[in-house]
Amino acid sequence: MRAAAARYGTAGTLALSALVVAPAQSASGATAPSAADRGVVVAAERAEAAGIRWGACPKAEDMPPSLKCGTVVVPLDYARPGGKQIRLTVSRARATGGDGRGKVARQGSLVYNPGGPGGSGMHFPVMGIMPEWKRVAAAYDLVGYAPRGVGRSAPLSCQNPERFIKAPTSAPSHPGAAYKKARIAKAKAHARGCAARNPGLRHYTTLNNARDLDVLRAALGERRLTFVGASYGTYLGAVYATLFPSHVRRMVFDSAVNPDPAQIWYRNNLDQSAAFERRWADFRAWMAKHHAAYGLGRTPEAVMRSYDRANRKLAREPAGGKVGPGELQAAFLQAGYYDDYWPMRAAALSQYLKGNPEPLVEQAAPEPRAAAEAENVNAVYTAVECNDAPWPTDFGTWDRDNSLLARSAPFETWENVWMNLPCAYWPAPRQQPVDVRTAEGELPPTLILAGERDAATPYEGALEMRRRMGGSALVTERGTGTHGIGGGGNACVNRHLEAYLLKGRVPARDASCAPRREPEPQTAERAARPAEAL
């Protein structure tokens, strides 16, 4: 699922033997104890005994001195817990104990996963200084971590990072046969590269990410897990809750992935491409509304013509030699995730069409210094999604489904295909997705947060998550599509989040919040200064 990691803005210990580990599901859907189940118990007991040795964070993590870092050891293969071990990096900010209104009792550790798959939560504890997180940070140690494969946690790489960010690129919304043939060859090469560079590739799955999360819980000395997952992190949390329901204390699903096994992951990507078309229409309507500021057109259709004109111009002569149609599409796709990007992207497009390419180059050109990180994120994303589930192995299926979809949703459809196409040629064994499901009363109430027009994780996913997580409650931000809404710009959403994390309270019925305010257009002066816009 092509989903950016959602931004942040979005008790005592018992012996492990006293806790029940739910058996993992077999490929047939039946449940039976497995070697991996036993391996989780062994690894968690070791982690509980060892704890985490907290110290100064490595310079590579670029953390403030107030944060501490450590590592947790987990098996590469849970079926062989005595075999190869890998280290996951972890960060923490201790509970402050006060929220400006007085002393606050500590409630344990709050673990955060920002999504991806491939996102790192290492910087999450920094959010404790933000007003939206201050009360939560008073009661909880804020804990971030890099999942297996990410950053310094047994990192994956599938190709030379310099080749990964090669620019400029094209992005045809209706590609021809020759272009498709070239992209098929590229996808096959990428899949081969992932296998050749990573001998343990098949062990990078959501199932193992969930097992790692339980080992992290034990290492933190927590009897039960308090967890916030955003985007893909919601699917990780749902798999965890299915496998370890007795280990759940409180769990927030922020911008929920559709966890139906039939959706993981091929059909979720089709739905995502359709949803991005709706969000792109929202953005164009906003630009048309602010024609006086940007001059891009008084209607969404006129704005589309302006965008297409820029696209054709960049195809002939890339801006700064770095920004072609592919980079333009990627920059505007990011605005589909977060509407606070709308003013700066609109300003960059406007300035470019007026003869000033600098804002667009500033915002859309690849950053060579970030090449290794970007390639690593993509490698983990590919490995987890390809390993998690069967994918169509005949390009004819992809071609048929996405050619049809692109007639009504051309903005994102084919770029989504190219990102996921290595899964058609994946060399590692695939597993059947977990049948995510918990019965009423099987775990404490959980909280689901969702934006009604979220493109990365369409709203239907939140409804399906609610159906499958017994006793869950859904809070909807009406009419808006920012991805990852907890701890962000909507005070109503944040009140529900705080009530749940601090008091365990969920709405008696599903609740809704009025939309956040639309972003304001940039002034002409700011539009001409792109560095400030960023």
* Cα–Cα distance for residue pair 319/348, rounded to 1 Å: 12
Tell me the residue ranges of DSSP E strands in 122-261.
140-145, 225-230, 248-254
Q: Does the active-site annotation cover 403?
A: no
Q: In the numeric block, which tokens belong to residue 17?
A: 């033997």
* Cα–Cα distance for residue pair 66/78, rounded to 1 Å: 34
Q: Which of 203, 214, 454, 472 is catalytic?
A: 454
Phi, psi for residue 57 in degrees, rounded to 5: -75, 140
- Work out the angle at residue 259's Cα, subtended by the Cα atoms of residues 256 and 264, and round it to the nearest 5 degrees: 115
Q: In the numeric block, which tokens belong to residue 187?
A: 């996808």
- Work out the angle at residue 218's Cα, subtended by the Cα atoms of residues 86 and 132, and round it to the nearest 5 degrees: 100
* Cα–Cα distance for residue pair 110/451, rounded to 1 Å: 23
Q: Closest Cα to residue 141, out of 115, 107, 100, 102? A: 107
Q: Which of 190, 247, 483, 496 is catalytic?
A: 483
Helices 395-408, 266-289: axis angle to 10 degrees equals: 20
- Only one residue has tokens 């809704």, namely 512
* Cα–Cα distance for residue pair 280/300, rounded to 1 Å: 10
* Cα–Cα distance for residue pair 165/180, rounded to 1 Å: 20
Q: Which of 231, 273, 306, 350 is catalytic?
A: 231
Give the CA distances from residue 160 to residues 156, 376, 459, in Å, rounded to whole numbers and listed in that order: 12, 10, 36
Q: Closest Cα to residue 486, out of 214, 199, 256? A: 256
Q: Does the active-site annotation cover 190?
A: no
Q: Does the active-site annotation cover 203?
A: no
DSSP state, 521? Answer: P
* Cα–Cα distance for residue pair 208/152, rounded to 1 Å: 17
Q: How many C-beta atoms lie closer than 10 Å to residue 255's C-beta?
A: 33
Q: Do the beta carbons of residue 485 and residue 503 sit within 8 Å?
A: no
Tell me the residue ranges of DSSP E strands in 62-129.
68-75, 85-93, 108-113
Strand partners, 319: 323
Instruction: Kindly tell me the burial class for residue 520, based on how many C-beta atoms sit within 10 Å of its own C-beta (0-12, 13-18, 19 or more).
Output: exposed
Residue type present at position 456: A
Residue type present at position 388: D
Tell me the residue ranges of DSSP E strands in 66-206.
68-75, 85-93, 108-113, 140-145
Q: 497: Cβ–Cβ under 8 A, 6 or more apart, which residues? A: 136, 252, 447, 449, 486, 487
Rg (CA), the chain: 23
Distance spanning both ends of the chain, measured CA to CA: 27
Q: State the number of CA atoms in the 13 A half-sphere of 23 facing the CB.
A: 10
Give the catalytic positions in this structure.
Answer: 231, 454, 483
